[in-house]
Copies of this chain bind each other. A is one copy, B any other.
Amino acid sequence: MDKVNRQWLLKARPRGMIGPEHFELVESALPRPDLAAGQVLVKTLMLGFDPAMRGWVMDEPSYLPPVPLGEPMRASGVGQVVASSNPTLPVGTLVQGLLNWQEYSVGDPNQPLAPVRPLPPGTGPGMALSIFGSTSLTAYFGLLDVGQPRPGETVLVSGAAGATGSVVAQIARLNGCRVVAIAGGTEKCQWLREACKIDTVIDYKREDLAARIAASCPRGVDVFFDNVGGTTLEAALANMADFGRIVLCGAISGYNDETPAPGPHNLMNVVTRRLRMQGFIVIDYLPRAAEAITALAAWVAAGELAWREDVQQGFENIPATLQRLFDGRNQGKQLLRLADPE
């Protein structure tokens, strides 16, 4: 076992684009080996990246406390138990949880905020963080519970080539909805058409978004699942059907703005078209995670669900990998591999 624990600590709170300059790579001592009862020492194997992490570094009260300056950056990951005082998690067990940007962490399955829990059987680190990870739970509960699409309705998804959006689009298709997907770039759009079997895909980098939504949704949009915000939300609001639902999942277009951009000019459409616009956080749905995992696993087994993993390498590349989400370079779920299971 290594003697040191490398960590990326939050050094400064970003204003504008987040980058490596906001983090500091340090070598700490390994967490002390005398584990309390129930605890395990976990070696990080793979880290997951999510746009929501941009919000976690802001010094504002939110659904999770801000990551403190001088502490390892919060992140979900998969690891392997290398020392254990917990008989349910013996050495060698693969676990997931908020392992953070560090090579080793001490976990406890009974911790309230960030329990470590074993991976579903037959699942490797990549799948645990991608198709069975929090982005897929976000897609499942956000679309079905918040959006409540009915078969035959038109579902519009932004950020549709991302880890969350691509699962939203496919679950909507599997529920008998007409799906219109918005993504940026030929490659992503092609993947949505061919692998995800989405009929109508809009490339917002090459097309007039509002006009294409209007042309693709002649009876209006019944459910809009928004990961992007900004002008994308405005274009969707212009094309909502009466009694439509807007699932506000995130607004990646604005996460790195120095000052928040104004909201849509056409919010009055929420009144005149009787829309419901609702936000949600996947953490609230974790008690129901098994329901989503079961459904996702069945679709995966049936070959009905496509996904892809964008796996970077190297502890030193962690902060730069986060940036890939914000310039759209990632192709699928953004991951970074630190080590393989032993």
Contact = CB atoms under 8 A, between A and B. Distances in A.
A288 to B, nearest CB: 15
Main secondary structure of the interface of A (DSSP, over half): loop
B281 A254 contact: no
Contact of A270 (B254, B269, B279): B279
Contacts of A267: 229, 233, 248, 251, 263-264
A301 interface: no
- Could you say how many copies of this chain the assembly holds? 2
Contacts of A248: 267, 270-271
Contacts of A263: 262-265, 267
A62 interface: yes
Contacts of A284: 274
B266 A251 contact: no
Given A262-B263, A262-B265, A263-B264, A278 B280 contact: no
Contacts of A260: 265-266, 268
B262 A272 contact: no
A259 B266 CA distance: 10
Contacts of A271: 248-251, 279-281
A264 B281 CA distance: 20
A280 to B, nearest CB: 5
Contact of A274 (B265, B275, B276, B280): B280
Interface in A116-173: none
Interface in A225-270: 229, 233, 242, 248-251, 254, 259-270
Contact of A279 (B250, B254, B259, B274): B274
